Amino acid sequence: MLSKKGARAFFVIGTGLCFGAFVLLTFDTFNRIPAQTNQAAMDESVIRGKHLWDTSNCMGCHTLLGEGAYYAPELTKVYERRGPAFIEAMLRDPESMYPGKRRMQNYGFDDRQIGDLVAFLQWIGTMDLNGFPAEPDLGAVAVPAAASGSSPLAATGNRPQVFNQMCIACHSLDGQGGVVGPALDGVGGRFDRPYIERWLHDPTEVKADSKMPKLPLSENQITELGAFLSQLRPAAAGTSTETAR
Amino acid sequence: MKYESQRIAWLFFATSMALFSLQIVYGFIMGFAHMGFDVLHDVIPFHVARTTHLNLLVVWLLCGFMGAAYYIVPEEVEREILWPRIAKLQWASLVAVGLVAIIGFHFQWFEGRKFLEIPRELDWLVVVNVVTFIVNIGGTMLKGRRLTTTSCVLFFGLLMSALLYLPGMIDTDHQTHDSYWRWWVVHLWVEGVWELIMGGIMAFLLIKLTGIDREVIEKWLYVIVGVTFLSGILGTGHHYYYIGAPRYWLMIGGAFSALEPLAFLGMAIYAITMARKGGRKHPNRDALGWTIGCSIMSFVGAGFLGFAHTLPSVNMYTHGTLVTAMHGHMAFWGAYAMLVLGVISYALPQLTGRKVHDGALASFAFWCSNIGMVAMTVAFAIAGIAQVYLERRMGMDFLAVQEEIEVHFIGLVLAATVFALGVGAYVVNFVRAGKPVGEVAQGADRSTADAAEARRVLGTEAQA
Ligand code: HEM
Ligand SMILES: [Fe+2]
């Protein structure tokens, strides 16, 4: 039978060995982090953004690198997902973005602070995270309408980039996207191109009580979106609006 | 109770009760926000509520551990606390720092690193406070008449918790470094040195409550904490999978953390076996209930539910979802909250001289809180698994998924109401027991200068 002395020896030796290994691995990890996390791109602005991220406690609602709270969207890939203009708009006036949904703190950031936070989020997006966040792997089941491509993302390739970044945050198309505004399937049948372009310049000028905020769009983007949206026709049942055009 | 200065523990226990109650209030604020009723947004936005909820938890558990140490150590080493006056001051300053931190959070004064939100200035005060505590307890042990394994394990756990707070204070500009050190505190606390504290307190309670031989209990204590460190130290890797650390952590963290449940399983088997063998001599059945309950619920919450998402292939999808919240609640409740409630249940009748432990209210508190917590865990699990499938595996938009699972938060809030009723009953019992004016046991040496000093400091001279 194990004696008390033997038990103590097991505890002391086991703990010692594991702690030693842990310290060595820590050194090795710190040597590898610069390459793995694109540390070269960490400029002054990114560092200011990181400290702003901390003192603002964004982690109290959001997750970053999967760590934080589960009340607001995961932000690791938000730069790629939404683009800088959208993030800037979000940080400048969170109240008007995502109207009627969960509320984000309005910090009253100035331009420089917003720039720093965007730079920080951009840098985070370039890290090698061993595959996190994973691509949705059951998507094709969820969106049968997109059966034209092998994955739902394949079917979105021919949309303007700004549509996939900004508009999809609030609107859905082909069953994918946000639920803040109405689905945009067949919107070309409801409105003509000039109306859509006027709408995109400033929704409140078209409809005074519009809940859609005025978005930071360039003339080129508006033209591109106008062309894209106006040809989204109401589809015959069962087919995708995009494939039906 | 054998020593006058053990009464200091009551101050810490009372603080624990108050902060725990407040923690639950903030939990409800968040539960309602998730249901879509974020009515307090302008006063207490979500991140303020969450930060307060988490830090109240940490502080009330630490208060409970400190109270336990002030209660257990004199009895184990057979002498009064070395400096009762300093112990009382340490309590007062801990309360002061805690209050400033909590109020500061509401004015958005925080560091924004989950679990370590207390601003750097206050971190230093916490360090000073804890050093005072450690020196006082350590000094008492050195001057004591004997040194037991139980008290040494408890002390080592407390000392290491204090030391492991320091990596969390390393200044860094890099998100990955930040995260890396943060887990040295959070993980190595809950899945490392706090288990020593748990082992020490549990051994003390089992020795007292079951009358079983100290040698047997303490031998197994070594084996269990040995397994804890063998798996738990390198198991830290399960937090390093996806934060920008090298890929080898997937293997190391996965393999070692998968062994962590063994320590909790060991603890449960050990507690149950000892309770059986010992023949349950002690009249305080309530304390024994919490002790055994703690060993079982910690295995379920930490061991089983921890294992459920610790493998890298699972964690890839559950990381950063409500699945983590499911595990966190049950683990903290089972392992540490129930432990503190167990010590309080054991110590309170002795401290106050009132037998509050065998009333109907005490069993109501036990069953209601536990059933409530299990139901809360189920609600979190359903919401979390739905989130994993809809958002992570099928690519639905975050907010759309949240609206989809709002309904499960109604279940959560209902379960939390049951839980809160149980905890409320426990607190009522605590209040009804009154002040720590209980008699020091017959035959104990109350004539020493140390005992007189303790009576003076604690204002219990009248009973002398
Ligand atoms: C009493 C012991 C334990 C407590 C109090 C506890 C508590 C927690 C808490 C609060 C978190 C969330 C941390 C955060 O998001 O910042 C967490 C995460 C985690 N725990 Fe535990 N835990 C315990 C034991 C265990 C064990 C034994 C395992 C594994 C077998 C485990 C596996 C995990 C994993 C994998 C995560 C990371 C989740 C993620 O972010 O993806 N835990 N734990
Ligand atoms: Fe962990």
Residue written as token pair 């209990």:
B217
Q: Are residues A119 and A178 both part of a single domain?
A: no
Residue written as token pair 């990181």:
A50
**Above 70 in pLDDT, residue B464?**
no
Q: Are residues A178 and A150 both part of a single domain?
A: yes
Q: Are residues A117 and A155 both part of a single domain?
A: no
B2 vs B200, residue with greater confidence: B200
- Phi/psi of residue A149, each to 5°? -105, 170
Kindly give the distance from the C-alpha atom of residue B168 to the centroid of ligand 1, in angstroms, as a whole number.
17
User: What does the pLDDT look like over A212-228, one tens digit per residue?
Assistant: 988 889 999 999 999 99
Q: Are residues A89 and A147 both part of a single domain?
A: no
CB < 8 Å to B50, chain A: 60-61, 69, 71
- Phi/psi of residue A63, each to 5°? -105, 150
**pLDDT on residue B278:** 78
Rounded Cα distance, B3 and A245, in Å: 86
Rounded Cα distance, B299 and B265, in Å: 6
The token duo for A37 is: 């996390």
User: What DSSP letter does each residue of B40-69 carry, written as one string?
Assistant: TTTTS-HHHHHHHHHHHHHHHHHHHHHHHH
Rounded Cα distance, B319 and A65, in Å: 9
Kindly give the distance from the C-alpha atom of residue B255 to the centroid of ligand 1, in angstroms, as a whole number.
15
Rounded Cα distance, B252 and B312, in Å: 10
SS3 A176: strand
Least confident among A124-128, B62-66, B219-223: B219-223
Torsion of CA B112, B117, B118, B120, to 10 degrees: -50
Q: Which of residues 34-73 of A touch B (CB under 8 A)?
A: 36-37, 39, 42, 47, 50-51, 53-61, 63-73
* Average predicted confidence (pLDDT) for chain B: 93
**pLDDT on residue A1:** 67
Residue written as token pair 């109650």:
B21
**Whose CA is closest to atom 11 on ligand 1?**
B328
Rounded Cα distance, B372 and B305, in Å: 17
**pLDDT on residue A151:** 38
Give me Rg for the CA atoms of chain A.
Answer: 24
Which ligand has the minimum distance to the alpha carbon of residue B322?
1
The amino acid that residue B103 corresponds to is I
CB < 8 Å to A36, chain B: 244-246
Crossing angle of helices B338-352/B406-433, nearest 10°? 20
Q: Parallel, antiparallel, or unpaired: how do β-strands A172-173 and A176-177 relate?
A: antiparallel
User: What does the pLDDT look like over B103-124, one tens digit per residue?
Assistant: 999 999 998 888 889 999 999 9
Rounded Cα distance, B264 and B286, in Å: 22
Note whether B3 and B74 are within 8 A (CB): yes
User: What does the pLDDT look like over A17-76, one tens digit per residue?
Assistant: 999 999 999 999 999 999 999 999 999 999 999 999 999 999 999 999 999 999 999 999
**pLDDT on residue A67:** 96
How many Cβ pairs closer than 8 A exist between chain A and B? 216
Q: Which of A159, A184, A162 minimizes the C-alpha distance to A81? A: A162
Rounded Cα distance, B335 and B276, in Å: 21
For residues A205-234, b (16+ Cβ closer than 10 Å) or e, as one string? eeeeeeebbebebeeebbebbbebbbebee
Q: Are residues A56 and A108 both part of a single domain?
A: yes
Contacts for A55 with CB less than 8 Å, ≥ 6 apart? B110, B111, B112
User: What does the pLDDT look like over B351-408, one tens digit per residue?
Assistant: 988 877 668 999 999 999 999 999 999 999 999 999 999 999 998 999 999 999 999 9
The amino acid that residue B435 corresponds to is K
CATH of B4-437, one of 1.20.210.10, 1.10.3720.10, 3.60.20.10, 3.40.50.300: 1.20.210.10
* Closest chain A residue to the Cα of B48, Cα to Cα: A60
Q: Are residues A156 and A88 both part of a single domain?
A: no
* Average predicted confidence (pLDDT) for chain A: 87
Looking at the DSSP bridge assignments, the partners of residue A64 are A67
Kindly give the distance from the C-alpha atom of residue A94 to the centroid of ligand 2, in angstroms, as a whole number.
34
**Which atom of ligand 1 is least distant from the CA of B318?**
41
Q: Are residues A152 and A238 both part of a single domain?
A: yes
Residue A49 sits in which domain range? 39-125
Please indicate whether residue B307, judged by its CB atom, sits closer than 6 Å to ligand 1: yes
**Above 80 in pLDDT, residue B349?**
yes
* Partner-chain residue, chosen from B177, B229, B395, that has the shortest CB–CB distance to A18: B229
Looking at the DSSP bridge assignments, the partners of residue A176 are A173
* Partner-chain residue, chosen from B252, B389, B399, that has the shortest CB–CB distance to A102: B399
**pLDDT on residue A140:** 55
Report the run of H or E that residue B430 belongs to, with start and end. Answer: helix B406-433
- Phi/psi of residue A176, each to 5°? -120, 135
Is A154 in the B-facing interface, judged by CB distances under 8 Å? Answer: no
**pLDDT on residue B377:** 98
Q: Cα A193 to chain center, whole Å?
A: 29
Rounded Cα distance, B14 and B9, in Å: 9
Q: Are residues A148 and A118 both part of a single domain?
A: no
**Whose CA is closest to atom 32 on ligand 1?**
B306
Q: Is B400 in Cβ contact with A54 (below 8 Å)? A: no
**Above 50 in pLDDT, residue A245?**
no
- The Cα of A38 is separated from the nearest Cα of chain B by a number of Å equal to 10
Which ligand has the minimum distance to the alpha carbon of residue A67?
1
Q: Are residues A152 and A236 both part of a single domain?
A: yes
Give the pLDDT band (50/70/90) at residue A209.
confident
Domain boundaries, chain B: 4-437
Looking at the DSSP bridge assignments, the partners of residue B218 are none
Give the pLDDT band (50/70/90) at residue B440.
confident
pTM: 0.92
* Closest chain B residue to the Cα of A181, Cα to Cα: B400
Domain-embedded: residue A12: no
SS3 A173: strand
Q: Are residues A59 and A94 both part of a single domain?
A: yes
Show the DSSP H helices in B353-405 as ranges: 360-387, 398-404
Q: Is A36 in Cβ contact with B244 (below 8 Å)? A: yes
Domain-embedded: residue A92: yes
Please indicate whether residue B53, judged by its CB atom, sits closer than 6 Å to ligand 1: no
Domain's final residue, options A74, A93, A125 = A125
Contacts for B215 with CB less than 8 Å, ≥ 6 apart? A4
Q: What is the mean pLDDT of the segment spanning B194-211? A: 93
Q: Is B230 in Cβ contact with A15 (below 8 Å)? A: yes
SS3 A177: strand
Structural domain count, chain A: 2
Domain-embedded: residue A16: no
- The CATH number of residue A190's host domain is 2.60.40.420
Domain's final residue, options A79, A95, A125 = A125
Q: Are residues A92 and A162 both part of a single domain?
A: no
Domain-embedded: residue A88: yes
* Partner-chain residue, chosen from B227, B234, B398, that has the shortest CB–CB distance to A22: B234
C-alpha distances (whole Å) from B431 to each of A91, A187, B3, B96 are 47, 65, 22, 22
Q: Are residues A119 and A147 both part of a single domain?
A: no
Rounded Cα distance, A174 and B449, in Å: 82
Domain-embedded: residue A133: no
**Above 90 in pLDDT, residue B85?**
yes
**Above 50 in pLDDT, residue A241?**
no
Report the run of H or E that residue A63 belongs to, with start and end. Answer: strand A63-64
Crossing angle of helices B84-106/B449-458, nearest 10°? 30
User: What does the pLDDT look like over A135-170, one tens digit per residue?
Assistant: 888 865 444 444 333 334 435 678 898 998 899 989
Domain's final residue, options A70, A97, A125 = A125
Domain-embedded: residue A6: no
For residues B174-207, b (16+ Cβ closer than 10 Å) or e, as one string? bbbbbbbbbbbbbbbbbbbbbbbbbbbbbbbbbb
Rounded Cα distance, B42 and B25, in Å: 17
User: What does the pLDDT look like over B136-169, one tens digit per residue?
Assistant: 999 999 999 899 999 999 999 999 999 999 999 9
Domain-embedded: residue A110: yes
Give the pLDDT band (50/70/90) at residue B277.
confident
Burial of B345 by CB count in 10 Å (0-12 exposed, 13-18 middle, 19+ buried)? buried
Q: Is A8 in Cβ contact with B47 (below 8 Å)? A: no
Note whether B76 and B148 are within 8 A (CB): yes
